[in-house]
Structure 1
């Protein structure tokens, strides 16, 4: 069985997603609110996306909130942009301060194999997708059925309140 962090046998293909705002390069850290099967990630958006996801007031510090539905795995931690080269997906094209989807994900394959071994497979369960969002000081990875940008807000406090309200 391939470890989720072993790139030696991966068929993983990295694609940039432009439907979610890019993370800001040097701003506040991302924030996660999670329940058993839902994860909401909030993070400051890159200034280059202000016009596309705005308009914002001059004193705003725009954050977005992204919902990952039917989540079976998520993590937030190293590496950050400075040491992103150590990430197993770096050679496949993982880039800093970006939103990615991993197609033909070895992590999804491993999680499916674990589920098969436990005989806990739900035949009606949605297909799983692997998402990776890179930040200045950390990387977020998630395996879920889909993601939805639930909003872009003028401040992190507003995004966090929305995340708490929606994760229930």
Structure 2
């Protein structure tokens, strides 16, 4: 079983992804829509990203939707911002309200080591990337082949509707 809270190996390198909107610090929690191999995460974006990903109307509450393709692992849960220091990648630079990729991920290596005959995980897409997004009350982790920002929308309801439509 894959355990993301095992101590990271020395090769884990946390890199900030600036091409994805940062999560808002004081807003609603993220929302996941998932199928067998696709995960779409929607969340409110930080006000500091409104200009970069806008424009938005004053009444808007901007949310983004991010698609993770060929997902072999995902989770949403603790730790949140207040206790992010307990996450094994905190010492490698994991920061609050940010989107990260873990280069040379020990989690990806652990998943790749699962024998092909024992699970469908080993037969998944050959390129695996480890993504981590930190929120107020939780952390999202995912191992997938890639990510795509499918849109930044004026409201969470619109982002969720788009997520449901695209996960099929």
**TM-score under structure 2 length normalisation:** 0.94
Measure the CA separation in 2 of the matches of 1:21 and 1:41.
Answer: 12
Could you give the per-residue CA deviations for residues 44-96 of structure 1, whole angstroms, max 9, x where no partner exists? 00000000000000000000000000000000000000000000100000000
Matches within 5 A, 1:67-86: 67-86=67-86
Paired position in structure 1 for 2:66 = 66
Q: Do structure 1's residue 9 and structure 2's residue 14 form an aligned pair?
A: no
Name the SS of the counterpart of 1:100 in structure 2: strand
Name the SS of the counterpart of 1:59 in structure 2: coil
Measure the CA separation in 1 of the matches of 2:46 and 2:125.
Answer: 34
Could you give the per-residue CA deviations for residues 89-142 of structure 1, whole angstroms, max 9, x where no partner exists? 0000000000000001010000011144627544x8330000000001100000
Structure 2 alignment gaps of length 5 or more? none
RMSD, aligned α-carbons: 1.8
Measure the CA separation in 2 of the matches of 1:126 and 1:26.
Answer: 37
Measure the CA separation in 2 of the matches of 1:47 and 1:143.
Answer: 28
CA spacing shift, 1:71–1:127, aligned 2, 3 Å = same
Paired position in structure 1 for 2:108 = 108
**TM-score under structure 1 length normalisation:** 0.94
Name the SS of the counterpart of 1:56 in structure 2: coil
Name the SS of the counterpart of 1:118 in structure 2: coil
Q: Do structure 1's residue 42 and structure 2's residue 42 form an aligned pair?
A: yes
Matches within 5 A, 1:19-168: 19-116=19-116, 118=118, 121-122=122-123, 125-168=125-168
Aligned length: 167
Measure the CA separation in 2 of the matches of 1:55 and 1:71.
Answer: 31
